[in-house]
Structure 1
Amino acid sequence: MEKVPMTANGEQQLRLELDRLLKLRPKISEAIAEARELGDLKENAEYHAAREEQGICEAQIRDIEYKLSVAQVIDVTKMENTGKVIFGSTVTLIDCDTEEEKTYQIVGEDEANIKSGRISVSSPIARGLIGKMEGDEVVISTPGGERDFEIDQVAYI
């Protein structure tokens, strides 16, 4: 089974969600039991809704447990900052054309959220940055064409 990189923060978020779902399990079972007491199950909307919720909850639990089982947790805060862009690092870039500054953290597939500045390790930007050093100029192929960036800062936070 191939390990999938995940930040320590990503692991913590998954564990919190798993804990929430595990606590929800008994409540769903109670709702099913209460709905059963209402009588005919064929036309019992409460029963069917609770069973559907149970199925969704169980699927989410299995999904999170699988993700945690294949996760290779990487905590960059415990590494010496060498200025090299690695998985988990936070990189501040300056667009050489517009002088616009952008900051991204390179994270695992499931943690990526461009609105909060977290990009997937397999994204074009991350692939172009991994292994480069603070101060380097890089040309990154994006869906919108090639872009020139300067790596202004690399932080292991």
Structure 2
Amino acid sequence: MKIISHTISGAAAGITIGFLLALSFSLLNHTTVFMSSTPDFINQFPNSLIATIASAGLWALMGIVFDVGSYLIFETQWSITRQTIVHFIVTFALFTPLALLAGWFPVQSYLIFYFIEFVIIYIIVWFISMQIAKQKVQRLNQLVDKAKK
């Protein structure tokens, strides 16, 4: 039941974030109409409405990848490092094809930069997770010390 809940919330979050990003890029590029993705992506469809529906579907799938992946991986008893590495591999393997389908970047020229960005983000996530875990351990140790007194 929780997977269904995470699927629904992931899809909703993906659509919301995708829409807000597309809206932001439309504003930043001073377009007079809403652009759900790049012109190359939109031109693959008979009209912009169908392109927006396709974009929303891809955004939903992206959200599902991150939400369900996070639920399944970060709820394990694995170490933070293992959780982060597995989550990185799963999300990179599933999100990258969706981003390519959405026309967010051309494969040849941006894939290496995209990969580097992904690695940097996950290093930051790992570092923050480790700091949070260290703080929790310190608090627990303080509670144990108080209980001993």
Fold shared per TM-score above 0.5: no
How high is the TM-score relative to the length of structure 2?
0.28
The structure where helix makes up a greater share of residues is 2
Which of structures 1 and 2 has the bigger CA Rg?
1
TM-score (norm 1): 0.27
Higher strand share: 1
